[in-house]
């Protein structure tokens, strides 16, 4: 069964990618839209519950706004809240994020375990970025929030690094846009590279499930096949979308 969460205004809720912190709607609208998405994820058996700490999330958002160098991002405020909330609920011990650019997407995940929004302790949270200069900037950004090295950004190809990660991966975040013409199709390569280390209950988040749906066709068919993932939900709360799948 294919599940979808679709907010009524998903296609008119738009951000200026050069103004990552601009408020797009009143806080209660953002919260209720994300709560609706989380409840759909619970109904689909992806998440155990839909509760997370709103104040901790705001502390995380504030720190990112104050400290991060973000030239552009396509992560809307709703998406930032949703990704943080999923991590706060699932509490992954090990998390890999593939294709993190300046680190905004990575810290939306890792911020549930490090910095002022932390609500649990993780072991290893790794962002992987193929462009070395971007990986360096992302790592500089992350160090301003996380004084430990639990969260870190490494330069490299996410396919190879996912294949070599030696432990179970409890949450995998996909946002790489591919090198060598692979584009977003690289998501499937990354998942296949670490499938044997995605235990039952692990979560895979795939950004751009809406605006790159065509390029992600084989990836989406794979995660929506019950032989591979127990359940998968297309969360459409902005024009980019997030596919949330559980093993």
Please report whether residue 95 would count as binding ligand SAM according to CB under 6 A. no
- Beta carbon nearer to ligand SAM, 96 or 198: 96
- Who contacts 193 (Cβ-Cβ below 8 Å, separation ≥6)? 159, 160, 162, 163
Per DSSP (E only), the strands in the chain are 3-6, 94-98, 124-129, 151-155, 171-174, 203-207, 231-236, 242-246
For β-strands 203-207 and 242-246, DSSP reports them as antiparallel
- Beta carbon nearer to ligand SAM, 44 or 236: 236
> x/- site string to ligand SAM, residues 48 to 87, per CB under 6 A?
-------------------------xxx------------
- Beta carbon nearer to ligand SAM, 109 or 245: 109
Please report whether residue 149 would count as binding ligand SAM according to CB under 6 A. no
Looking at 61-69, 97-105, 216-224, 228-236, which segment touches ligand SAM (CB under 6 A)?
97-105
> Considering the complex, what minimum distance in angstroms separates the CB of residue 3 from ligand SAM?
23
**Number of chain residues interacting with ligand SAM (CB under 6 A):** 23
Please report whether residue 159 would count as binding ligand SAM according to CB under 6 A. yes
Hey, which residues between 104 and 123 contact ligand SAM (CB under 6 A)? 104-105
Judged by CB under 6 A, the residue of 77, 92, 99, 241 near ligand SAM is 99
Hey, which residues between 165 and 184 contact ligand SAM (CB under 6 A)? 175-179
Q: Collapse the DSSP code of 230 into the 3-class scheme (helix H, G, I; strand E, B; otherwise coil) and give the result.
A: coil
Q: C-alpha angle 107/143/129, rounded to 5°?
A: 55
Please report whether residue 192 would count as binding ligand SAM according to CB under 6 A. no
For β-strands 94-98 and 231-236, DSSP reports them as unpaired
Q: Which of 244, 231, 245, 230 is nearest to 79 (CA)?
A: 244
> Considering the complex, what minimum distance in angstroms separates the CB of residue 167 from ligand SAM?
19
Using only the alpha carbons of the chain, give its radius of gyration: 16
Nearest-CB residue to ligand SAM? 99
- Beta carbon nearer to ligand SAM, 64 or 150: 64
DSSP 129-167: ESSHHHHHHHHHHHHHH-SSSSEEEEES-HHHHHHH--S
> Considering the complex, what minimum distance in angstroms separates the CB of residue 190 from ligand SAM?
7
> Cα–Cα distance between 65 and 58 in angstroms, integer?
10
Give the tokens for residue 116.
């002022």
Give the tokens for residue 197.
């280390």
For ligand SAM, the binding residues (CB under 6 A) are 73-75, 98-99, 101, 104-105, 128-131, 134, 157-159, 175-179, 186, 207
């Amino acid at each position: 069964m294919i599940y979808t969460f679709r907010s009524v205004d998903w296609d008119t809720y738009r951000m200026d990618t050069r103004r990552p912190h601009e408020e797009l709607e009143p806080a209660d609208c953002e919260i209720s839209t994300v709560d609706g998405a989380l409840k759909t994820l619970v109904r689909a058996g992806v998440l155990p519950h839909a509760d997370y700490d709103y104040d901790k999330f705001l502390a995380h958002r504030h720190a990112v706004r104050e400290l991060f160098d973000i030239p552009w991002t396509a992560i809307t405020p709703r998406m930032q809240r949703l990704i943080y909330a999923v991590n706060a609920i699932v509490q992954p011990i090990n998390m890999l994020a593939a294709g993190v650019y300046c680190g905004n997407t990575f810290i939306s995940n890792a911020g549930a375990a490090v910095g002022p929004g932390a609500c649990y302790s993780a072991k290893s949270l790794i962002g992987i970025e193929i462009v070395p200069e971007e990986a360096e900037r992302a790592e500089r950004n992350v160090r301003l929030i996380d004084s430990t090295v639990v969260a870190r950004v490494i330069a490299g190809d996410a396919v190879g690094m996912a294949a070599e990660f030696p432990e179970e991966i409890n949450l995998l975040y996909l946002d790489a846009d591919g090198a060598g013409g692979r584009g977003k199709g690289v998501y499937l390569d990354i998942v296949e590279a670490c499938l044997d280390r995605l235990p039952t209950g692990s979560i895979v988040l795939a950004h751009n499930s809406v605006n790159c749906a065509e390029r992600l066709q084989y990836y989406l068919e794979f995660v929506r096949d019950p032989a591979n993932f127990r359940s998968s939900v297309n969360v459409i709360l902005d024009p980019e979308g997030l596919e949330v799948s559980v093993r």
